[in-house]
Structure 1
Amino acid sequence: MTDTALVDAQQAAAATWWRQAAVYQIYPRSFADADGDGLGDLPGIRSRVDYLAELGIDAIWLSPFYPSALADGGYDVADYRDVDPRLGTLADFDELIAALHERGIRVIVDIVPNHTSDRHAWFQEALAAGRGSAARARYLFREGTGESGEEPPTDWESVFGGSSWERVADGQWYFHHFATEQPDLDWDHPEVREDFLKTLRFWSDRGVDGFRIDVAHMLTKDFSEPLPSRAELELIPQDGAHPLLDRDDVHEVYAEWRRVFDEYDPPRTAVAEAWVSTPERRAKYASAAGLGQAFNFDLLEADFDATEFRTVIADNLAQAQASGSSTTWVLSNHDVTRHATRYGLPPLAGRPVKQGTEWVAAGGPPDGVDLDQGARRARAATLLILGLPGSTYLYQGEELGLHEVAEITDGERQDPAFFRGGAYDGLGRDGCRVPLPWTADGASFGFGDAVAHLPQPRWFAQHAVEVEAQDPTSTLSLYREALRLRRLLQTGEQLDWIETGREDVLRFTRPNGWQVVANFGTEPYPLGAPSDAVVLGALLDDAVPGESTVWIAPAQLLG
């Protein structure tokens, strides 16, 4: 290969790194606390960069670290171009980026464009400016109904429960899809659009490699009068013309963002959080002319079932091929019950996992959950998705085999979904956001010098990093080895299914001969005498044990 060809190949690889990446989500307030105030921070993350490098990930995704009143875990942003002083400074951010890049780890940051915090300077200006002002035009203010406007404009409900309208002192109402502290922006306003372009450039200029776009399907809205009732709204199909969700005109916003991303070399990447009605609708967000990639959440709503997994895998690989993107695989994140717990509970029976935290309401670990089964199935599912084409998003703590934490009293909870009784069955999402255990003892299991901002249960000690790092059979050791091997084995964006003769066993091969065999059942699956070596997982009498996954690969692929 000539020098020019080598440079071209390196540039192409740098531009498409995200297509096959293993990305680790960090919830900053619960990762590591450097200053001892009980809240995780950026210097805390920097202190654990070696841990991230040893884990073997390609990138991190940082959930919001911006100034925030924490009305919704940081997703109520008061300033999009700064760091919450409780989490550090812009200098701390720059040092963190440098430390990660030095170790070959790229950085994706969360962008929250649907709404601001009610403490954002724009909203405070809107409150002071009054009716008909230019400041209020950036948001969705409307007059109320009733004799004197004392009733909200519609009977719509917030995601977190209660009305989606809040009245201000002068009698007008503003729309908030989420908490009252999160007023929605009006994306028809040119100043709103221009300001977010400035934000994207601000972080890109500081070295950020990509962006995760929060509720990417909600930005644009049609508030033409008369506004429909809640009952009428629910009957409107989400096919591109719904007043509030997944409108076709949102892609005009992302086309403009793509032009900004492409100003950089390599281009900045993005991934959409888009809960939409069909795969075809989701593919629009993954367009090369738009964000480039969109989360595939289908496995979050699937049971530990071979047929369901195969359908999800086949459908999403087909969608990725049609859109020219690569798909994503997700089993846990900051909004859902941890998959080690989900898989230890009764089947979903069609209930979406976003509303599945009631499963731990009656007890949670150790009561009400088959801990061993959940852990076993979680490891098997993780090895399966790490063997698939596309990128995989991991959530902090899953590499330790953490379960959902149910031992949180009402007085200790923080999630607005809990206080308002809306989505997530009233319990909220605090159980998957409890700070990580790094050591087996200490005030917060090594998270920091003070008690953590959410209570850590005693059983965290057995899952501490220092404990699992010394155990070759631990979940942490498995993740480290799987991610190491994945870098050696990952190739192409195709797979071929191998029929197994059993409905509860999936087997596929990648273009280089790497095979993945996942047994979803309880009876061993006889593998026979493979010509290649089992490089990950363990056989029992030449069979794949129940609820487990093995990787098989030609020796020459391992160097």
Structure 2
Amino acid sequence: MSLPADTATWWHVYPLGALGAPIHDRPTDGDHAHRLRRLDPWLDYVAELGCTGLLLGPIFASTSHGYDTVDHHRIDPRLGDDADFDRLVARARERGLSVLLDGVFNHVGRRHGLVDKTLEAGAGPVRLDETGHGPAPHPWEGHDDLAELDHDDPAVGELVESVMLHWLRRGIAGWRLDAAYCVPPRFWREVIGRTRTEFPEALFVAEMIHGDYADFAQASGIDAVTQYELWKAIWSSVLDTNLWELAWALERHERFNARALTQTFVGNHDVTRIASRVGDAGAVLALVVLMSVPGMPSIYYGDEQAFRGVKGSGPRGDDPLRPELPDSPAQLAPHGWWLHDLHRELIGLRHRNPWLTGGHVAVVAKDCTWIDYETTAPGHRLQVHIELEPGPAARIVIDGAPAFDWHG
């Protein structure tokens, strides 16, 4: 099911955590469950929120947290099986929801079959380091449980292409490419180019943390890149009462979006929850920015309910960011629904104005405690005023008509 980028708003969920799968201390006899079915009660919730797709974190067989894949062609048994996946895609489609999968193609888990095959042959699709005890897999960013792939080896391109096609044929809309910034852009261009011969409308979103986002997108053939610069400026400018930082980031954002689509966000599975960073009022202001600037936005599950979670360190440092959901939305705590309603209102505003995705943003005026900016497209103009003092407030005017007015 394809999804036009100008109408896309994703609900980003980390399935292993959200569905209560054991991650760190897995039973020695394995854990086999049909947890993907636990998403069923949440599909109507996502559609009613106004989102148009599910951005799923890792769902393939892995050792622990999902980013240590051991089999890209198999659903993690902690989540279910092929039938559970097909059921999820079909039920999502019934509600007009597309599905984007998280593809971890920069590295594999240490227990992936490719690792032992490469070690036995002395060369192959996994990068090796020479050590005093013989060759060993090259760890990704110092993580010994993750082995980097060699993207110069044709076998890696063949693997990635086969995985992409396999799941696209099962009905997904496209891929989020984990750690895409670590992979040569030419690799993505070649593999995505071949994949698009069968699925020309597939969507590819690259995780980019630093660098020139637009240059990377154009060199790689990828559709969109994650906008970490804007994410940082949104929460930091509110936290430090320095909207000059947001103004600078919006100017950069305009330059990026003039050349490539960005995937915008204020929360994901790797960062401290927005409400924990800046409080409830700050979370509203962050949402206003997210929904009023160019790009393709995503909402991290629970942010719309003011979930808290602070990123820690060590093997369990991400656990607070990836909590288990209750069995249904009806079991959510009552204190978060006010923020849910604001999300629904602003997502709806954005969907009624799809031109925002490819619009142009410009800062009109600013000071440390307030900012005025506008997003425009031919025949349209959205104006935003945000202030931090004397109290948090936000106002949106679209084509001369008041569209949103909030005071904390």
**TM class, shorter-chain normalised?**
0.7 to 0.9
For 1:275, the equivalent position in structure 2 comes to: 209
Find 2:182's aligned residue among 214, 218, 238: 218
Give 1:494 deviation, angstroms.
2.5
Report the Cα distance in structure 1 between the residues aligned to 2:34 and 2:307, rounded to whole angstroms. Answer: 18
Give the deviation of 1:506 after TM superposition. Answer: 2.3
Establish whether residue 489 from structure 1 lines up as the match of residue 378 from structure 2: no
In structure 2, the CA distance between the partners of 1:496 and 1:253, relative to structure 1 (3 Å rule), is closer
Task: Give the alignment of 1:357-436 within 5 angstroms.
Answer: 374-404=279-309, 418-419=314-315, 428-436=317-325
Distance 1:16 1:51 in 2: 19
Residue segments in structure 2 that go unaligned for 5+ positions in a row? 23-30
The answer to whether the aligner puts 1:514 opposite 2:382 as a matched pair is yes
* TM-aligned CA distance change 1:498 to 1:193, over 3 Å: closer
User: 3-state DSSP class of the match of 2:106?
Assistant: coil
Structure 1 contact 113–213 (Cα < 8 Å) conserved: yes
Unaligned runs of 5+ in 1: 1-13, 151-170, 220-249, 344-373, 407-414, 420-426, 447-463, 539-544, 549-559
Amino acid at match of 1:504: T
- Counterparts of 2:98 and 2:207 in 1: how far apart (Å)? 19
- Give the drift of 1:200: 0.9
Q: How far, CA to CA, are the matches of 1:526 and 1:328 in structure 2?
A: 23
Determine if contact 1:20/1:326 at 8 Å carries over to the other structure.
Answer: no
Corresponding residue of 2:11: 24
Mapping of residues 37-436 of structure 1, within 5 Å: 41-70=35-64, 73-127=65-119, 129=120, 133=121, 136-144=123-131, 149=132, 171-178=134-141, 179-219=143-183, 250-276=184-210, 278-279=211-212, 282-287=213-218, 290-302=221-233, 303=236, 304=238, 305-321=242-258, 323=259, 325-343=260-278, 374-404=279-309, 418-419=314-315, 428-436=317-325
Paired letter, 2:308:
H
Amino acid at match of 1:393: S
| CA positional deviation for 1:297 | 0.1
Matches of 2:399 and 2:207 in 1, distance apart?
Answer: 42
- Say if 1:29 and 1:40, in contact at 8 Å, map to a contact too: no
Mapped partners of 1:113, 1:75: distance in 2: 9
Q: Partner amino acid for 1:120?
A: H
Deviation at 1:62, TM superposition (A): 0.6
**Alpha carbons of structure 1 residues 91 and 526: separation in structure 2 relative to 1, 3 Å:** closer
Show the counterpart of 1:504. 369
RMSD, matched Cα: 3.1
SS of 1:137's equivalent in the other structure is coil
Cα distance in structure 2, aligned partners of 1:514 and 1:205: 39
- In structure 2, the CA distance between the partners of 1:81 and 1:524, relative to structure 1 (3 Å rule), is closer
| Contact 1:261–1:269 (8 Å) recurs in 2 | no
Superposed displacement of residue 257, structure 1: 2.3
Whose Rg is larger? 1
Separation in 2, partners of 1:99, 1:16: 16
Q: Structure 1 residues 96 and 376, CA, compared in 2 at 3 Å: closer, same or farther?
A: same
AA aligned opposite 2:302:
G
The answer for the alignment partner of 2:27 in structure 1 is none
Q: Which residue of 2 aligns with 1:160?
A: none
2:293 & 2:394 partners in 1: Cα distance? Answer: 22
SS at match of 1:418: coil
Q: Which amino acid is the alignment partner of residue 383 of structure 2?
A: Q
Bigger RCO of structures 1 and 2 (CA < 8 A, at least 6 apart): 2
**CA deviation digits over 1:136-195, x for unaligned, max 9?**
422222332xxxx25xxxxxxxxxxxxxxxxxxxx4322101422211112221111111
The Cα shift of 1:24 comes to: 1.5
What is the distance in 2 between the residues matched to 1:143 and 1:288?
32
DSSP-derived class of the 1:431 partner? helix
Secondary structure of the equivalent of 1:48? helix
**Partners of 1:45 and 1:51 in 2: CA distance:** 10
**1:314, 1:39 → 2: CA distance?**
48
SS in 2 for 1:308: helix
Matched to 2:204, the amino acid is A
Which structure's residues are more often strand, by fraction? 2
Q: Which amino acid aligns with 1:173?
A: A
Deviations 1:365-417 (A, max 9, x none): xxxxxxxxx110111111121011211122111000111158xxxxxxxx9x5
Following TM superposition, by how much is the alpha carbon of 1:113 offset from its aligned partner in structure 2, in angstroms? 0.9
Q: Which secondary structure state, in structure 2, belongs to the residue aligned with residue 327 of structure 1? A: strand
SS where residue 180 of structure 2 aligns?
A: coil
Does structure 2 retain, via aligned residues, the 8 Å contact 1:60–1:105? yes
Q: What TM-score does the superposition give when structure 2 sets the normalisation length?
A: 0.85
Instruction: Give the Cα separation in 2 of the matches to 1:194 and 1:143.
Output: 26
Taking a change above 3 Å as real, the CA distance of residues 39 and 90 of structure 1, as seen in their structure-2 partners, is: closer
Could you say what secondary structure the match of 1:217 adopts? helix
2-structure distance, mates of 1:86, 1:78: 13
Q: Deviations over 1:191-213 (max 9, x none)?
A: 11111111111111111111111
Aligned-pair identity (%): 26
**CA 1:66–1:402 in 2, change beyond 3 Å: closer, same or farther?**
same
Q: What one-letter code is carried by the residue in structure 2 that aligns with 1:101? A: R
1:61–1:531 distance in 2 versus 1, CA, 3 Å: closer
Structure 1 residue identity aligned to 2:59 = F
TM-superposed deviation, 1:301? 2.6
Q: After TM superposition, what 4+ stretches of structure 1 lie above 3 angstroms from structure 2?
A: 32-35, 37-40, 124-127, 437-440, 495-503, 508-511, 523-527, 529-535
Deviations 1:266-296 (A, max 9, x none): 52111111233x32xx223322861121111
Mark the CA change 1:525 to 1:103 in structure 2 (over 3 Å): closer, same or farther.
closer
| Partner residue in 1 for 2:403 | 535
**AA partner of residue 114 (structure 1):** N
Task: Give the structure-1-normalised TM-score.
Answer: 0.63
